[in-house]
């Protein structure tokens, strides 16, 4: 006799042990159990209200599910591979506890619409947590930006010194990126929060179900309108993993900068010891392992996105066993994202900034050359002529191994007679920052204004 009697009547021989191991999913999908129970309770209540389930059966189901949920929370739930997945395990445990009422729970539904519902219930909760963690990371970056609004550092293009920027402005660039990530997650959640339950196996059900009732009980914003699409759709999982990949890319970019900045060749920052490790052979080492690992884990999440896209690319309607493969990459993406965001916010609050080293680096790459060109344009020189004059001045300063601000006035005037003594105000890094005092600019006043703006946004998002 087969152990799994939920479908065994059709078969003359039991499933082989190898097939059980290969096709079973309970080892990983049992984490969906609380959401499976949540969906089942709503389904049972709807069946009772529709007159399909007796009131006593509903009461027994509610009592039995409460006991099962307690067992799961206490780690006492007996999981069986013979029962394949989380759904059959919960149903069998319920039947063991309450008898025939447990067998009536599955009326009007299929594991196809059940699992699609469970994943959506679980993922919408995880997205809400992820967005809370994004907000916490943004808050840490805003604090860092506001504290160091006046700290000047080199801004880079092509990894070459380009123009002076405020360190606070640099941090706020990532706040903007994570803000878009927050918006993508919130928008994705709207499409996650659509109810497939009631689609049954693929064609709907002959029972007089009220899907609107179930959706209201489960707080779904909408109902999947086509039964075939409802059970086979995994767009929401792909969309979430795409949003997660972008978020990890942003975290990876910041990680790369932290790694570079911590190197003695830059020495712009220091990361707190609790986020670093040493070497087993080199006693002087302090390795930025957390940002390095975040940089690596971005590839892991991007890989899951590629896996999910490939999983769905050639599936005919409706549900196929292939879709069992959606859960592990989705689970791992969520786990990776939550762990990374949580540790990153804490790490950013432990960053020590080294302003003197940053300012010294600004003076190494002629970062105020554009300011000198703008100065000449404001004096009436056409920009292309100004560009050429400053390029010659830079070449001369480079040959002397000095900054533009170190050149005597008479030397600067040899490149343009329009240059006067006020040029040295333009050639300071601080002057360069303050000159860009417009919306989106790097001036410290703008950094503080943007920090205040973000505090209001983050406060509203947290409500």
Q: Considering only CA atoms, which of 54, 47, 37, 33 is closest in space to residue 214? A: 47
Q: Considering only CA atoms, which of 234, 205, 227 is closest in space to residue 106? A: 205
Residue indicated by tokens 């878009």: 180
What is the 3-state secondary structure of 359-417? HHHHCCCCCCHHHHHHHHHHCCCCHHHHHHHHHHHHHHHHHHCCCHHHCCHHHHHCCCC
For 413, the token pair is 């005037």
* Cis peptide preceding 270, ω within 30 of 0: no
Catalytic site residue 158?
yes
Q: Catalytic residue, from 16, 158, 314, 399: name it.
A: 158
Beta strands in 167-314 (DSSP E): 194-195, 222-223, 269-271
Q: Residue 204 class from Cβ within 10 Å (0-12 exposed, 13-18 middle, 19+ buried)?
A: middle
What distance lies between CA 207 and its chain's CA centroid? 41
The packing angle between helices 327-348 and 111-147, to 10°, is: 20
Catalytic site residue 279?
yes
Q: Catalytic residue, from 8, 128, 263, 279: name it.
A: 279
Active site residues: 158, 279
């Amino acid at each position: 006799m087969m152990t799994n009697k939920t479908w065994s009547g059709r078969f003359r021989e039991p499933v082989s042990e190898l097939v059980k191991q290969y096709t079973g999913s309970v080892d990983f999908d049992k984490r969906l159990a609380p959401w499976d129970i949540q969906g089942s309770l709503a389904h049972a209540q709807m069946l009772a209200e529709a007159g399909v389930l007796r009131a006593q059966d509903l009461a027994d189901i509610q009592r039995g599910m409460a006991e099962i949920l307690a067992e799961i929370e206490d780690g006492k739930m007996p999981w069986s591979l013979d029962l394949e997945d989380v759904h059959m395990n919960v149903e069998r445990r319920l039947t063991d506890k309450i008898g025939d009422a447990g067998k009536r729970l599955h009326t009007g539904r299929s594991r196809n619409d059940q699992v699609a519902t469970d994943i959506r219930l679980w993922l919408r909760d995880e997205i809400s947590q992820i967005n809370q963690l994004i907000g916490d990371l943004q808050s840490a970056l805003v604090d860092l930006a506001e504290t160091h609004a006046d700290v000047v550092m080199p801004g880079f293009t092509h990894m070459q010194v380009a123009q002076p920027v405020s360190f606070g402005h640099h941090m706020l660039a990532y706040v903007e990126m994570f803000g878009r990530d927050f918006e993508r997650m919130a928008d994705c959640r709207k499409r996650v929060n659509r109810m497939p339950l009631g689609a049954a196996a693929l064609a709907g059900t002959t029972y007089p179900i009220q899907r609107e009732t179930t959706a209201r009980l489960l707080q779904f914003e909408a109902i999947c309108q086509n039964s075939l699409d409802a059970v086979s759709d995994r767009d929401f999982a792909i969309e979430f993993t795409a949003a997660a990949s972008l978020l990890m890319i942003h975290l990876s970019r910041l990680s790369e900068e932290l790694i570079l900045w911590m190197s003695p060749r830059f020495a712009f920052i220091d990361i707190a010891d609790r986020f670093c490790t040493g070497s087993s052979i080199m006693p002087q080492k302090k390795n930025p392992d957390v940002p390095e690992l975040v940089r690596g884990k971005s590839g892991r999440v991007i890989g899951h996105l590629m896996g999910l896209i490939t999983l769905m690319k050639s599936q005919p309607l409706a549900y196929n066993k292939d879709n069992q493969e959606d859960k592990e990459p989705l689970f791992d993406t969520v786990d990776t994202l939550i762990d990374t965001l949580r540790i990153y916010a804490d790490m950013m609050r432990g960053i020590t900034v080294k302003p003197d080293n940053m300012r010294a680096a600004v003076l190494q790459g002629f970062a105020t050359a554009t300011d000198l060109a703008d100065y000449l344009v404001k004096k009436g020189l056409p920009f292309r002529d100004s560009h050429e004059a400053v390029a010659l001045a830079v070449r001369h300063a480079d040959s002397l191994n000095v900054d533009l601000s170190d050149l005597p006035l008479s030397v600067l005037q040899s490149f343009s007679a329009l240059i006067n003594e006020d040029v040295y105000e333009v050639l300071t890094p601080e002057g360069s920052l303050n000159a860009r005092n417009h919306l989106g600019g790097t001036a410290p006043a703008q950094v503080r204004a943007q920090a205040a703006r973000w505090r209001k946004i983050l406060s509203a998002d947290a409500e």
